[in-house]
Amino acid sequence: MAGEGDDVKLLGTVVSPFAVRVRMTLHLKGVSYEDLEQDVFDKGELLLASNPVRKKVPVLILIHDGRPICESLVIVEYVDEVWAGAAPLLPTDPHGRADARFWAAYVDDKVVTAMLGILRATTDVERAERLDAALAAVRPLEDAFAECSGVKAFFAGDSVGYLDLALGCHLFWFEALREMFDVMIIDAGRTPRLAAWAGRFAETETAKKAASPIKSIVEYAGKLRAIWAAIAAAAK
């Protein structure tokens, strides 16, 4: 059984929000780890062998037994269970846990899809439509924040927890999209609670430690857009 004192390796990329989610979790739990940067455009053997089903980052590998754990939310829950002594991430009551998992799944489905939609848009009109879709996707989280937190500092109370990590890891991409296309997915006018939460979250040591450099995200996003454009051109 892993626990305090066990080291781990993280296969990730500096720009992957899902890897950022795991880095934040490890930081909160005080787990030391080795960060192994992967090239997702030219995947190495370790990544392919560790996550043969999805072939994606992040993957957590426990040094003592070499067994990989895949999918960021699965990893967060695993780390929360194994390093249970420090900074509990999921609420203690079953309903609170169910809520947190529901909204985390919502973030990875609706919010991430909407965010990628903005990135994939090829015209200003299309981008404006995709922004509307993204605003509609984050809107329910504004109410969820009040429901889950009772308007505390973070989603499930006064410290960063599971849902904060699930949404907070995407804030750096929101910022990169703002820089690239002048779009605001969370803002004080439309989603005041989320905007205040995002400000508080960004100020935490955990967010600062695990932050992706916006410049790197912008570069990576440009590469993705070039690949999508080439695929679209080849399909014509």
Ligand X SMILES: N[C@@H](CCC(=O)N[C@@H](CS)C(=O)NCC(=O)O)C(=O)O
Interface positions with ligand X (CB under 6 A)? 16, 18, 40, 55-58, 71-73, 108
Instruction: Select 27 or 56, whichever has its Cβ closest to ligand X.
Output: 56
Residue 92 C-beta-side C-alpha neighbours within 13 Å: 4
Closest CB 57 distance from ligand X, rounded Å: 4
C-alpha triplet 207, 169, 223: angle, nearest 5°: 115
Closest CB 56 distance from ligand X, rounded Å: 3
Instruction: Select 146 or 227, whichever has its Cβ closest to ligand X.
Output: 227
Closest CB 22 distance from ligand X, rounded Å: 8
What residues contact 152, with CB distance under 8 A and at least 6 apart? 158
Instruction: Select 100 or 149, whichever has its Cβ closest to ligand X.
Output: 100
Residue 39 C-beta-side C-alpha neighbours within 13 Å: 5
Closest CB 15 distance from ligand X, rounded Å: 7
The DSSP letter of residue 40 is: T
Name the residue number minimizing CB distance to ligand X. Answer: 56
Q: Which two tokens stand for residue 140?
A: 């329910």
Which residues lie across from 9 on neighbouring strands?
A: 34, 61
C-alpha triplet 41, 43, 44: angle, nearest 5°: 150
The sign of the dihedral angle between the CA atoms of 83, 159, 194, 150 is positive
Instruction: Select 55 or 209, whichever has its Cβ closest to ligand X.
Output: 55
Instruction: Select 11 or 31, whichever has its Cβ closest to ligand X.
Output: 11
Instruction: Select 56 or 191, whichever has its Cβ closest to ligand X.
Output: 56
The DSSP letter of residue 13 is: -
Closest CB 101 distance from ligand X, rounded Å: 13
Closest CB 58 distance from ligand X, rounded Å: 6
